[in-house]
Structure 1
Amino acid sequence: MADNSMFFGGSEVGNKNSAGKTAAISPGCITPENSGYSHIFLEEGSNAVSTWEANGLMSSEQEVASNQELAKELKKQAMFASKNFAAIKSIAKSESTIAKFWSKSKLIVAQSVKKQWDAFNAMFTGMDRLWAGYDVGKHRRQQQFQMIDQQRQATIGTMQQKHSEQLAALSSKN
């Protein structure tokens, strides 16, 4: 027979000839060999429970109450952790949603600013071309005026020379 002193408080347990009342060990009892997958059947008047309590194998009323309080506290903490997890998950989801919409908003603003810049750029480029055309036109007009003035000067010079020649020819005939 196996040593059940850990469970039953001594070798007298299960000994039918022992003087004290003890727990009867049947094939359905918890023993080290069956890893506790069964039931314990106690004879009436057995001191096994007292022995278990004395050896610290059974919880006292205080330990049971303490364990129940601990279980309640752990349950509260588990509920709190669950709520906290849900809140953190919600925050993370909200942050990603916020980031997504901020990036979309920034993209829309950037596209709008680019369109506005492109419009102003086209306008200023056109104005620069007009101004450059005006400058070129102004330069060409000045060249034309200078050329006309040179032709006028040349014509006036030629006319004065011819006039002088005609006057000289007239005065020599007289």
Structure 2
Amino acid sequence: MKIFLVTLAAVFSIGSAASSCSFDGAWPFLPDVEGWQPFDGQDEYLGDIPAPKVVLRELRRGREAPGVSCGDAGTLRLLVSLPGNAQYKITDLGVYFRVIEGQNELGIFPDRPLVGEVRRRGFELQLPWLDGHPSDQIPIEMSVEVFFVSKALQIGRPSVIKIVAD
């Protein structure tokens, strides 16, 4: 009986792991309004928050119908980094997205600032959404402002990227 229960538990754990998916690559940004100031160690003002450099690394559409592991997910990978002359540390900033042209019907861009995997002076962000089978997909065409936001919730200048996919 014990062998049967152990075997049954193993089968269910393998089945549930295969049918679920996880996308690590973007987390909520946590501000610190009272504890953070835009000054370096010598009380020098760091300057205005610069516009980010944004590189579209990958846009992948779903390949299968919903419910088939991760095959129904679309993913967008972006590298969002500080310009070379910026005095800020990337770990003191979050990234905010605002769709200015087109629709965010698929929910690709959340309504809160994010952080991602730190890559030198930037974040690599992976943004997933439920995309479905290619026969059910809607075209994506939008312009998006990308801002840095400080821990004190100061907003920097934007950069604009265009996201297009059939």
- State the TM-score, normalized to the length of structure 1: 0.19
Structure ranking higher in helix proportion: 1
Q: Kindly indicate which of the two structures has a greater share of residues assigned to strand.
A: 2
TM-score (norm 2): 0.19
Q: Max radius of gyration: which structure? A: 1
